[in-house]
Every structure is written in C-alpha cells, then in structure tokens.
Structure 1
Amino acid sequence: MVVFFVMEILPIEVTAMGAIGILLLFDVLTWQEAISGFSNPAVITIGAIFIMSRALVKTGFLEVFADFLAKKGGNRKWLTIFIFLLTVSIISGFINNTAAVAIFIPLGIDLCQRFRISPTKVLLPLSYAAIFGGTLTLIGTSTNLVVSSIMEEMNMAPFSMFEFTKLGLIFLVLGTLYNMIISKWFMPSRSIISSLTRKYHMGSFLTEFKVGEDSPLIGNAYKDLDISQKYNLQVYKIIRDSKNIRFNLQNIIIREGDIFLVHINVKDMLKFKDEMKVLLLTDVKMNVAELTGKNHVIVEGLVSQQSALIGKTLQEFDFRNRYGSFVLAVKRQRELLRDKIAHIRLKFSDTLLIMVPKERLEILRTSNNLIVLEELDIHLRYERYWWFSILVIPAVMLLVAFGVIPIVKAAILGAILLLVMRTLSIQDAYESISWSVIFLIASLVPMGIAIQKTNLDEVTGNLIIGIGTLIGGGEGLDPVIILAVLYGVTFILSAFISNAAVAVMLTPIGIMLATILNVDPRPFLVAICFGASCSFMTPMGYQTNMMVFAPGQYRLKDFFQMGIPLTLVFWITAVYWIPRFWAF
C-alpha cells in the first residue's frame, strides 16, 4: 500500500479505499468500522471549513487585504515581499492553506512583475509560508483536525483552537526569516517575467501545429530548415492522414495538412507560427479569425485541487463551449506528455495555455476549476451579505476557543448559515469541497482502527523505542529522544505520502509510545501534527508545493536544497520546545 501511495499508481483516495476493502474482506475491520470515517468529526469539520473558506475567498476580501498590506512596503522590494509572505502565513492559519495559495499565486506573480524579479524567487517561499502558517491554529491544516479527532475518540482531551499557536508562532518567525534569506540570496532566477503573458516564462508546453498551404515547410524535411535549433522545439511525431509517424522524423518530407506534435516554449511558439505559416490547434479546431482575433488574450490556468477537469480530457469536459476559450498547449511538471492535447487526461497542477475572449475572462477567473495566472482584478465583490462571509470564520474560531461549542458544531452551523443567508449557493458549496481530501481522510480513519486491532501500533512503537535506545545509549531512555525519532519518521514519510495518511497511521503509534514509556501522549501527538504538516522537501509532499512547481519552473533539486535545511531547523526547534510547552 505504501508503494501505491508513493508512486500514485492510483489516485491516493482510491488506494486508501482499496486498502479498506482488503481489510474488510479479511475481517480485520467490521463494516461499521470500515465506513466510520464518513461520520468522523474531522471529516465533517474539514468539509464545512472548505465551504466557509470558499465564501470568504468569493468576497475578494483576502486579495484586497493582502494587496493593501503589500502596498505599505512602497517601493522597498524586500520589505514588500516580507509583508506579503507574512500575510500568507497568517491567513493560512484561518483558512485551508491550499485555498490560500490558490489566491496568492497570482498576487505573488504580480509582485514579481512590479519589482522585476523572477517568480522562482517568491513562489516556493509562498508555499512554505502557507505550510507553516497552517500550524498556527487547529483549523489551519486538516492534519491537526484529524489527530484531534482521533484523540477525542480515545477519550482524550482534544486540541483547543489556539493550542498550537505558541509553537506555531516560533515556526512562523523562523520560517519567515528563512524564506527571506533563500528568496533574496539562494533561489534561482529561472522563471523570467517578460513572457507572452507579461508575467513569466512558461517553459516548454506540449502543443500541435498544422502546416498551412503557404508554409515554407512544404516540400522540405524539417532538418533542412534547422527548425529544432532555430525555434528550440522538439518534434515527437507527425500526424498525416490519421497516421502517426514517429521514426526518422527529420528526414520526412513535409506536406500541407501535416500536424506536428511538439514541445516548445511560448515565445518560440508564436514566432514559429508566424514565420513558418503554421496554425495552432486545440481540442476543437479553430479558424484563422479566432486565432488572430484582437479581442483575445492568452493566459495560463493551473488545474486546481478540486477541479472538475481532473481525470478528464478537454473534449470530455467540453472546455471550449463551457468557457468560450481554447486550450493551445498543456504542461505537466513531472511527466513528459506525448499524446494529442485533446487526448490528455488532466491532473492536479497541470498548466494550460488558454486563448480566451476578453469578455469571457472573468468567467474563467471565477471558476473553481482553474487558477488563472494573469493580470489581477483586485476589488471587493459586494454580493449578498458579503460581510457575513468575512465574519463567520473568526466567529467560529472564537466560539471554539472560549469553549462555547465544539469545533464540529461551530463549523457545521457556520456553513449552514452561509447557505441559508444565500451568501453562497449550494452549487458553490459542492464545488468548494475537495472531495478527494474528504474521501481520503474518511478512508484513512478506519486504517487507524486496523493498526490498533492488529497491534501494529505496539510493534512500531517498540521499534521506535529501539531506535531511540540506540541513539540514547542504553536504559533510562529520555522521552525527548523518542520524540525526536517520532518527529523524524513523520516528516520523512510526509515527504512521499499524504500528510493526512501519515497522521492517521502514526497517531495510534504515538499513543502507544506514551503507554509503553508511561508518559503523557500529548507531546508525541503535537510532534506528529507539526512533522506531518511541515513537508518542505519534495513537491509531492504537500499540495501547495505541487501548485507552485510549474509556475515557478522549479526542479526536484530545488525542493531538496531549500526544503531540507528548513525541515532540520524545524525538527531541532520542535524537539526543544515541545517538551517545554507540553510536559511529559
């Protein structure tokens, strides 16, 4: 199962459900236990928070607030970036941090445009800021809610709303200083601002060209015209009369109507189109008037986590008719695409190059399916009871913090009030929920039960104690050493597996460790929360890392080089402060 999680052979929620099916088949779990995750308080709370976050995002308040604070920095570049990253962290403590990054990627790119710096220097720190900002409160990340829910089921006192804040603030200070250092001196300037969209260089996209009747390519082999070097493109195949030509491409004599499937960057894409008299293609063929129309703009769209595009082709989604727009090219950061654009099944964080009529841009921008990386439209949207959407999350947090009502009750009531007052439509509510996250966590909860029933928690706990004994050098083992080992195991697993999965699997083990050592389990559970949430070392370790991977033109080594030092700093910090804030 771990291999399936790491390799993502199937969607991770499907892998989790498959594991539950196996446990149910072999009677490790009863059917009641197998479906218990869907009534788990954490799952219900997370769903309600998605709805409340969507209502807040819809008002435009967060963009206005962040833009207002950023402008306080004036023309002082690094002060403005510092304010921006700090704002991201604080807001991520109040709303889902994936939603926060979706809002702030375009704002971050706008700052880069303003100060003429590469987005590569800002977007990875933006993701990191959202990640450690989520550790400020109970609702900042789903991991905290999942662990707290398991504690409650085991008749332990759950975490309070601001119980994480004292350590979270230390992480915030250290993380923000670290972000500023790497942003200014260590992040590469790989992604260039001056591109077709005037925001940043797009890297190589997969796209298609059709040879026009007056193209100078006709009658020549493309090696004769040296187009690979001149336009920095790579041809994967030529489609002629519905036949795919994949071999000896450089020597094929080109004919009118041939279709080239190529990887090319945006700047050279338009240059190649104009000079070689070829037509760009999309999922549905466009005519020349549509391609050259002055009322169109070209923007990039990042496929969001809850996008209905995920798992579908552009034709199946009917992209052109839904948005009146054309997808010119597709980019995927960790996989080489060689299929026709219309046949590519889209994934989370894929980047689409879209030609859209100016009058349809707002429809595309307000869609939950795409994060449009384009010029910003920053203003408050005065919809029905818009002010209530701004107040509901702080009200929920205060009611929970003062013990007036439990968090699950407060979150449900907040979401219901937003729907009843029509500040959010029921369709918006459905679309706001990341159903993959809901199904993943609901499927993982029974796995925690299975770990306890099979005594895997005790076996793993003893293994961790064995490692701690080797490190500590004998008997009279200090629980702080076990805490350090547990935190280390947690962040290593989280680099490759969903942080929610890691939290569910390790929480019973943390409780068992406390039982074996005869100490309070709370410090161990805090370590699991922070270790699972603070995943900086890989793009797949956290959704926000995946979201900035393509726009920032990052490479895997960037995450290792920038993420490992920050992870080690947080590890040392957590091991020092957790026993002082939560005594054994």
Structure 2
Amino acid sequence: MEQIIFAGILLSAITLFATRVLPFEATSVLVLVSLALTGILTPQQALSGFSNPATITIAAMFVLSAGLIRTGALEFLVRLLRSTAKQSAFRLLVMLAIVVGLSSAFLNNTPIVVMMIPVALALSRQTDVKPSKLLLPISYFAILGGTCTVIGTSTNLLVDAAYREHGGPGFGIFDFAPLGICYFLLGTLYIFLFDKKLLPDRAPLSSMLPSDRGATFVTELTVGAEASLVGKLLRDVLPPGKEGVRLLEIVRGEEVIFAGQALDETVAPEDSLIVEGTPQGITSFIEQEGVQIASVVEDAERVEVRSMDLSIAEAVVLPDSPFVGRTVSMLGLNRLYGVKLMAIQRHGRQHRYHLRGMRLAGGDVMLLQSDRRGLDALRETGAVLVVEGVDHLIVNKAGAPLALGILIGVIALATLGVAELPIIAAAGVGILMATGVLRPREAIASMDSPVLFLVAGSIPLGIAMEATGLAQGLVNVVLATLGGMGPIAVLSGFYFLTSLLSSFLSNNATAVLMAPLAFGVASALGLQPQPFLVAIAFGASASFATPVGYQTNTIVMGPGGYTFGDYFRFGLPLNIMLWIAATILIPVFYPLLPVN
C-alpha cells in the first residue's frame, strides 16, 4: 500500500514539475509535506534536501557566479569577442563557443546566457547575422561547457552527492572532463556545420532598430475595416525606403510576420503594423491610410497610447522570475515603473487581447512601451531580461580581481582535496560578502530559489523510491528489458531514458530520480555504479530538443524568435549524435568494472 501511495505522489510531482502549473517552490513544499504526513519518510528525511551538500554547493555557486558577473570580472571575455568577431559570422560563432563554453565549465549557466544575450544582439549588427543564428547556439554552448566539470552544472553536483551518500568516493572537479570535452567538441562541430541550414532567420524587434535612432520612434498601428489600405499589398503601402516611416513587422492574429516576408502580404482588417519613423512621418501615414495607434495595458485597464515619445522594448520573463504565475494586472508595471504593456509573445505566438488576466510563464516576451528610466527600473528588478542590442555588464569593477581570485581558489582547493566542496564554496561566499564585493542582499537575490527548491524537493523523492522498494521494481523492469543484451546496452538505455525525461522534466529532477535506479542496476549486474551515474549526468544535461528541459533554452526562445519546431529540428539530431557518442565513450573513460 505504501508503494502505491508513493507512486501517486511521485506521478503528481512529475506532472507538476513538467507542466509548471504551480511554481517549483510550491510543488516542492507539497512533496515534502506529503512524504512526511503519509509516513513514507521521517520529517528529518523529508527535509534532508535543504541540508544536502549538493543543495549547499549549488546555492554557493549561484553566489560565486553573481560575484564575477556583477563586478565585470568577465568583461575581458566580452572585449575579446568584440575585437575578434570583426565582420565574420563564423569567427563570431567560434569565439562564442570558446567564451561561453569556458565560462560555463566553472560558473552557473543561466547568468552566463543572460549576460551574453545583449552582447550577442550587439555583435549581430556588427556581423550582419540574425540573432536567431546565435542565441540557441549560445544556450547549447553553455549546456555543453557545463558538462566538463563537477561544478559546471547542478546536475553533476547532484550525481556527485548521490554517489557519496551511497558510500562511493564521489567525483573530483575534473572527473567529468574527458567525456565533457569530447561532448563539447562534437556538439560545437555540429553547431558549426548546421547552424546556417537548420536555424531560422529571425530577429527580435529591438535588433531591427538602427543603433542610432535619432528622433525616430516605434509604435503599433491597428488596421480597422474602414482603413484605406485594406486589400492593398504592404509592398505598395509601406515600400522599403519610404520616407518618414518604415515597417518592422506585422501581427496577424497570433502570427508575427517580419518585414522581409510581409511585403507581399495583403493588408487585412485587425492587422497590426509595428512601424518606426519620425512623429511627422507616422502622423502623416495615419491620416493618409486611416489607421489608428494601438491601445496599451496600464495595469488593470486598457488605454489609448498618449505619446509616441516613448521607447518600445521587449522583455523576457526569466524562468525564476517572481512574475511567473501572476496575471499582468497584478504586476503593477505602470504604477511601479511607468511601463505599459502592448502584447505578449508565447512560444512564437503573439497575444494582444485579454492581456490583463493572462498569467505569465517563463520565456514569455512582453512588448513594452516606456521611457528609459522605466525600462532601467524594470531591468533592476532581475525579474526580466530587457532585450536590447546593448550590453550592461560592469557594476562594481573594483571587486573583479577578488571575485575572480575567490573562484580560482575554490577550484584549486577542491581539486587538491583540502576540504569538501560545499565547505570551500561556502567559504568563498563568506569572503565575497565580508569584503563587500557582494552585499548580503545581493548574494541572497542571486540564489535561484526555484532551482534550489526543486533540488530540495527532488532529493527526498529519490530517498523514498529506495525506501518503498519502487526503485528495485523499476530496476527489475530495466534488467528484464535490456539485461540480456549486455551491460553496454543497459548503459545506453539509461542514457536514452534520462535524456528523454529531461526534455520535458527539469534536468535536476531527472538526475535525482534516475540515480537510485543506477545503483540498483549496477548492483544487480555486479558492476561499479560510476559509468551509470556518468550516463545519468550527461543524459540529464543533453536537453536540446525542447525549450523546457533546460532554463537557458527557455531564456533564448523569445529573443531568438524560436518556436518548438526550431528546437526539435536543430536539437534532436544533436541529442541522437551525443547518445551514440556516450554509448561508445563512457565505457572507454569510465570502464564497466566489477565490484571488488
């Protein structure tokens, strides 16, 4: 009976984690309470995820990463990108692979990608490359680079902690490097070969604006049934080079059509035209064609646009944003920041109506209208990534050498085995705050609470899988299915199943739930568990075919204008290639040795 109850809790948790109906924090707390109240785990076991060494280390690495980024310690890498990219798109892609991959091997992936998005948008102008050719590769470079060290991704830290809790020696800082480097090289080669062929040519609205806009403005115009341009080709109404006004994109229903593809479209009632031009040019166009300036949402009400003398910008709702799950009217964007909402783009579809009651999700792109002060205030909340072709990096440059030195010290001491990694990483955090490089408030804010709660809630699920015998039952199913094919087939199957789950479920949750199976299968086969744990670590990180399995994939979706199909088309072949590589290379670098 206990196993049936736990199976219900587990399935409910997986469903909630995958669908994100509730915030990760809420789901994790409900899981802990359910496991304790049903008696499946003791209260100490149910709460053990919060004191787990992996949770402590992950939290500390968030703070250490924030220390480097907030002090501009990585500015030299950005300067290197600018100086070497020149006018070559391929050279820019190579430098992005080096910079992002190297950074992600030692720092948390999410802030690295957030930092690089505005840099990539600025460089895309310089090299005349669409941002959609750069942003998804940046996410992939971060994922691949993170596999190279035990601290490169929280997944590796969780697998390391599970190994130690089961009496193993754990993994050293660079134990994942042999396979991780091969992964990175294979993945990078794939991106270089197929970036142009498989990725779309799209750009966010902000990247289509000239770098020096002068006295031009951007606004949205709606086409009524009585407008004179209804039935005309856009090429005739707004031809390229038209003085005073220029078409950026057209919104038809939920579809966004960029100017290059829209010129041969016939204007229809209810279309919305996003245009840039001088106030005189836009006003003249409105009077001539009978269109109207669109309305905007000011918190709880929709109002007419009162001025064109405002900036239009796109802001991506980050996966860990406090905005997630809240309706637009609850946010108080206009009251708090003077920011007005024009539309929301989700999964490549544009939403302009019923916005006030719409609940935001991670990866949503808000089309905003505001002055510079309002956008800066919104950016400072850390809840969104304001997408612009400029990069704001340096905050406290004086602390950069110390922040970099602390990270190097943490890596060196952990490599030498002076103390356990959680203790060393926590000491680094303490030094950052004691020296004033980061204020305590900044350190706390840098910790990704959804990720930490997800980890703390998943670890007890792994304990309960073993305690109830469910893990052993699943092990028997795996052995009955693949056991007759040999240990390499079982290893390959483990990798495949882990990679499949991480495409829809968080990579961290996937790793925690698969770890008990790895120990059970290894024990049944009389083998050491290390190769199976490596398969889980790399399989959980190999989330390329969907935007939901890995946070960085979600973050670049809006700025790159990607759809689910783009991820599937570009990421699935990479998933398959790395699965084959893992099947061949894991037994080479981590032999399938019998238990002594």
Pick the TM interval, shorter chain. Answer: 0.7 to 0.9
1:151 pairs, out of 147, 163, 184, with 163
Match of 2:555 in 1: 547
Q: SS state of the match for residue 497, structure 1?
A: coil
The answer on whether the counterparts of 1:303 and 1:350 sit within 8 Å (CA) in structure 2 is yes
Match of 1:312 in 2: 326
The answer on whether the counterparts of 1:70 and 1:81 sit within 8 Å (CA) in structure 2 is no
The separation in 2 between residues aligned to 1:142 and 1:228, in whole angstroms, is: 54
**Superposition deviation, residue 48 in structure 1:** 1.3
2:298 pairs, out of 283, 296, 309, with 283
Identity of aligned residues (%): 32
**Superposition deviation, residue 568 in structure 1:** 1.4
Q: SS state of the match for residue 300, structure 1?
A: strand
The separation in 2 between residues aligned to 1:290 and 1:84, in whole angstroms, is: 42
Output one character per residue of 1:103-150: Cα deviation in whole Å (capped at 9) or x when no partner. Answer: 111122222221212222111111111111110111111111111112
**Superposition deviation, residue 50 in structure 1:** 1.0
2:451 pairs, out of 414, 437, 446, with 437
Output one character per residue of 1:454-501: Cα deviation in whole Å (capped at 9) or x when no partner. Answer: 11222212222222235x2xxxx3x21211111111101111111111
TM-score in terms of structure 1 length: 0.84
Matched letter for residue 450 of structure 1: A
2:527 counterpart of 1:515: no
**Superposition deviation, residue 408 in structure 1:** 0.3
Match of 1:395 in 2: 409
Output one character per residue of 1:499-520: Cα deviation in whole Å (capped at 9) or x when no partner. Answer: 1111111101101111101111
2:408 counterpart of 1:404: no
2:505 pairs, out of 497, 505, 516, with 497
2:184 pairs, out of 147, 156, 172, with 172
Change (3 A) 1:485 1:356: same
Output one character per residue of 1:63-83: Cα deviation in whole Å (capped at 9) or x when no partner. Answer: 441332342243332112211
Match of 2:237 in 1: none
Match of 1:428 in 2: 442
Match of 2:62 in 1: 50
The separation in 2 between residues aligned to 1:127 and 1:185, in whole angstroms, is: 18
Change (3 A) 1:32 1:379: closer
Change (3 A) 1:462 1:235: closer
2:417 counterpart of 1:413: no
2:141 pairs, out of 113, 129, 137, with 129
The separation in 1 between residues aligned to 2:396 and 2:317, in whole angstroms, is: 27
**Superposition deviation, residue 321 in structure 1:** 4.3
Taking the TM superposition and a 5 Å limit, the aligned residue runs for 1:200-279 are 221=225, 226=230, 232-234=250-252, 264=272, 266-267=274-275, 274=286, 276-279=291-294
The worse-fitting range, judged by mean Cα deviation, of 365-374 and 275-284 is: 275-284
Change (3 A) 1:377 1:16: closer
The separation in 2 between residues aligned to 1:334 and 1:447, in whole angstroms, is: 35
**Superposition deviation, residue 167 in structure 1:** 0.9
Change (3 A) 1:70 1:557: same
Match of 2:469 in 1: 455
**Superposition deviation, residue 434 in structure 1:** 1.1
2:122 counterpart of 1:110: yes
2:39 counterpart of 1:35: no
The answer on whether the counterparts of 1:52 and 1:415 sit within 8 Å (CA) in structure 2 is yes
Match of 1:561 in 2: 569
The separation in 2 between residues aligned to 1:265 and 1:373, in whole angstroms, is: 20
The separation in 2 between residues aligned to 1:375 and 1:94, in whole angstroms, is: 27
Q: SS state of the match for residue 134, structure 2?
A: helix
The worse-fitting range, judged by mean Cα deviation, of 281-290 and 4-13 is: 281-290
Match of 1:204 in 2: none
Change (3 A) 1:235 1:171: closer
**Superposition deviation, residue 364 in structure 1:** 4.2
Output one character per residue of 1:519-554: Cα deviation in whole Å (capped at 9) or x when no partner. Answer: 110010011000001111111121111111122222
The separation in 1 between residues aligned to 2:231 and 2:161, in whole angstroms, is: 60
The answer on whether the counterparts of 2:23 and 2:325 sit within 8 Å (CA) in structure 1 is no
The answer on whether the counterparts of 1:107 and 1:376 sit within 8 Å (CA) in structure 2 is yes
Matched letter for residue 311 of structure 1: G
User: Cα RMSD between the aligned structures?
Assistant: 3.1
Change (3 A) 1:223 1:364: closer
Change (3 A) 1:379 1:518: closer
1:346 pairs, out of 334, 354, 360, with 360
The separation in 2 between residues aligned to 1:290 and 1:419, in whole angstroms, is: 46
The separation in 2 between residues aligned to 1:507 and 1:136, in whole angstroms, is: 19
Change (3 A) 1:196 1:75: closer
Match of 1:300 in 2: 314
The answer on whether the counterparts of 1:63 and 1:104 sit within 8 Å (CA) in structure 2 is no
The answer on whether the counterparts of 1:299 and 1:355 sit within 8 Å (CA) in structure 2 is yes
The separation in 1 between residues aligned to 2:355 and 2:321, in whole angstroms, is: 18
Q: SS state of the match for residue 341, structure 1?
A: coil
The answer on whether the counterparts of 2:205 and 2:314 sit within 8 Å (CA) in structure 1 is no
The separation in 1 between residues aligned to 2:207 and 2:399, in whole angstroms, is: 40
Q: SS state of the match for residue 328, structure 1?
A: strand
Change (3 A) 1:581 1:419: same
Aligned length: 538
The separation in 2 between residues aligned to 1:176 and 1:283, in whole angstroms, is: 44
The separation in 2 between residues aligned to 1:193 and 1:281, in whole angstroms, is: 17
The worse-fitting range, judged by mean Cα deviation, of 349-358 and 359-368 is: 359-368
The answer on whether the counterparts of 1:306 and 1:432 sit within 8 Å (CA) in structure 2 is no
Match of 1:19 in 2: 31
The separation in 1 between residues aligned to 2:477 and 2:304, in whole angstroms, is: 67
The separation in 1 between residues aligned to 2:292 and 2:350, in whole angstroms, is: 27
Q: SS state of the match for residue 141, structure 2?
A: helix
Taking the TM superposition and a 5 Å limit, the aligned residue runs for 1:52-91 are 52-91=64-103
The answer on whether the counterparts of 1:539 and 1:556 sit within 8 Å (CA) in structure 2 is yes
Output one character per residue of 1:33-56: Cα deviation in whole Å (capped at 9) or x when no partner. Answer: 111111111111111111111121
TM-score in terms of structure 2 length: 0.82
Unmatched runs of 5 consecutive residues or more in structure 1: 200-206, 237-249, 252-261
The answer on whether the counterparts of 2:297 and 2:303 sit within 8 Å (CA) in structure 1 is no
The separation in 1 between residues aligned to 2:28 and 2:206, in whole angstroms, is: 43
**Superposition deviation, residue 287 in structure 1:** 8.8
Q: SS state of the match for residue 292, structure 1?
A: coil
